[in-house]
Amino acid sequence: MSLEQLKRDFDRDGYVVLRGFLSRDELEELRVRAAGCLSEARRSEEYPGVVKNLNGIDPWFEDQLQRGKQAELISALLEAELEPASAGCFERIPGESSGIRPHIDAIGRRRRGATAWIALDRADRENGCLFYVKGTHRQDLPSVVGLEGFGTESEGAVAVEVEPGDATIHNSRTVHWSEANRSERPRQAITYFYWAASCEGDAATDNV
């Protein structure tokens, strides 16, 4: 897909899906680096599958956050210079009872940004794939986890099922969530979050 088409889709829907974003070798390196960080990281009780600031654990993630190929693409989609914020790992744990409720990543005065979400495993409805609601990036929604009125039956809601190495990029104002992993299969993804450099305010909280 051309950059022009990606930009049209991103502006219209608030997200794009990039099939085969990583090569096999790139995917394997990402998996190895992520595993090394996860062995060192602390996990919160509320979100045990979420590990943020991988770039503070391994300089390789800082380099990827600053110069990875997703950064140039997000800059083009937002039509802005970027302020890299954080790299994270988001896991839906097999057999868990709950996921992350609908929310947006924008917070406070910081409304303009985007997240690249890269699948390490197949993600589908059974093991907690992402859901987006098309067009919600054009709404002025509060930054809370548990936005009322959004769910799988909402108009414009899309389950984004992906294979390892696929990626999505979503606007920081796009409503998204992930349900519980009801399978015995893993569902890990790496995220890179960015603000537009002209955007001022507090840090982001993305939980998917």
Give residues with Cβ within 8 angstroms of 63, minimum separation 6: none
Predicted confidence band of residue 207 (pLDDT cuts 50, 70, 90): low
Number of other residues whose CB lies within 10 A of the CB of residue 50: 19
**Mean pLDDT, rounded, of the chain:** 93
Lowest mean pLDDT among 82-86, 87-91, 106-110: 106-110
Strands (E), the chain: 15-18, 50-51, 82-92, 100-103, 113-119, 130-133, 157-160, 167-171, 176-178, 187-196
Q: What is the pLDDT of residue 148?
A: 94
Residue that wins the pLDDT comparison between 49 and 162: 162
Decide: helix, strand or coil at residue 20: coil
Domain boundaries, the chain: 3-196
H-state helical runs in the chain: 3-13, 24-38, 59-67, 69-78
User: pTM to 2 decimals?
Assistant: 0.92
Asked whether 186 and 100 are in contact (CB, 8 A), the reply is: no
- pLDDT tens for each residue of 58-85: 999 999 999 999 999 999 999 999 999 9
Q: What is the pLDDT of residue 199?
A: 59
H-state helical runs in 19-131: 24-38, 59-67, 69-78
Fold of 3-196: Jelly Rolls (2.60.120)
DSSP 50: E
Predicted confidence band of residue 46 (pLDDT cuts 50, 70, 90): confident
pLDDT at 203 over 50: no
Predicted confidence band of residue 194 (pLDDT cuts 50, 70, 90): very high
Residue 109 CB-density burial (10 A; 0-12 exposed, 13-18 middle, 19+ buried)? exposed
Predicted confidence band of residue 108 (pLDDT cuts 50, 70, 90): confident
